[in-house]
Amino acid sequence: MEYVNLGKTGLKVSRICLGCMTYGSPAGAEPKPGRHAWALNEADSQPFLKQALDLGINFFDTANVYSSGDSEVVLGNFLKANTRRESVVIATKVHGLMRDEPNGKGLSRKSILFELDQSLQRLKTDYVDLYQIHRWDYEVPIEETLEALHDAVKAGKVRYIGASSMFAWQFAKSLYLADLRNWTRFVSMQNHYNLLYREEEREMTGLCVDQGIGIIPWSPLARGRLARPWNSESTKRLETDRFGTTMYSPTEDADHKVVDRLVEVSSKREVPQAQVALAWLLAKPAITAPIVGATKPHHLADAAASLSIKLTPEEIKSLEEPYTPHPVLGFS
């Protein structure tokens, strides 16, 4: 495993981050926010969390809304029982709907400070290494959000703060205000970025490179679409992931061509598609660690193996050539 600093901080993280949205509680008869049919329960999650530690992964990302908080419970229980707190980097997020009531979601001071305490209890820890705003809250002044996050850092409950999926102007405004008010600055951007969706390259990537912000992309394999040929056998997630169907069209001809080109490059190298797709991401400026989900043993093995693949300029050009502009997606 390789380790790098997260942005301009001194925090060392593995170049592969384990995304924990899959771990928690499967969707049941009673609908709850953040629960999905493909989620694994606590017992079924354990082998993948252990495999991550065995591979040297020290970076774990979750969110309060994943499995209505159960993802944090599963991660907290595992890390408490299997490693030392100081040896791992725990990242979680706040914003999503947790309760069907006026203050049950969002980035108000009230919501942030309450949800942080709830996350700490579920994660069985006194502090979060990286606390991230999951989305932009259009109903709350960003000044209120930033000051609440700054106070959480000063209280010792958060080490660093990060953001996720927003317009570059919003992120630039946040960085400017933090500097102006001497508040804690965002150190990372968790955004939607992969071979099928590269709109972040137009503004956000350049901003992050200029400001020394670490990028930790979510959905680096396009929710599995980059891990297999286009017309291959379906999976439970592809069949039930309603959010994913809004992100990637099954009839988008340009996307087909990108996947076909990925098949060509990976076939020539005689390695799985996932390894090449992740290697492409890892070669990009400011990319710290793709957030990889795992429900089969080879998922994390492929992610770790991607670190040893160094694509040639010709291969990168070949992978990128079929791409066409997409509508902006993933901000809501």
pLDDT per position as a tens digit, 108-154? 999 999 999 999 999 999 999 999 999 999 999 999 999 999 999 99
171: left (phi over 0), alpha (psi -120 to 50) or beta: alpha
- Does the pLDDT of residue 188 top 90, yes or no? yes
Contacts of 25 (CB under 8 A, 6+ apart): 35, 39, 41, 67, 68, 70
> What's the DSSP call for residue 258?
H
Query: How many residues in total does the chain contain?
Result: 332
Position 250 confidence tier, pLDDT thresholds 50, 70, 90: low
CA atoms within 13 A of residue 181's CA, in its CB half-sphere: 19
pLDDT digits over 253-307, tens only? 889 999 999 999 999 999 999 999 999 999 998 899 999 999 999 999 999 999 9
Position 29 confidence tier, pLDDT thresholds 50, 70, 90: very low
Cα of first residue to Cα of last residue in the chain, in angstroms, is 33
In angstroms, the CA 239 to CA 121 distance is: 34
Active-site annotation, residues: 66
Task: List the chain domain ranges.
Answer: 3-248+284-310
- Does the pLDDT of residue 244 top 70, yes or no? no
Pick the CATH number of 3-248+284-310 from 3.40.640.10, 3.30.450.20, 3.20.20.100, 1.10.1750.10: 3.20.20.100
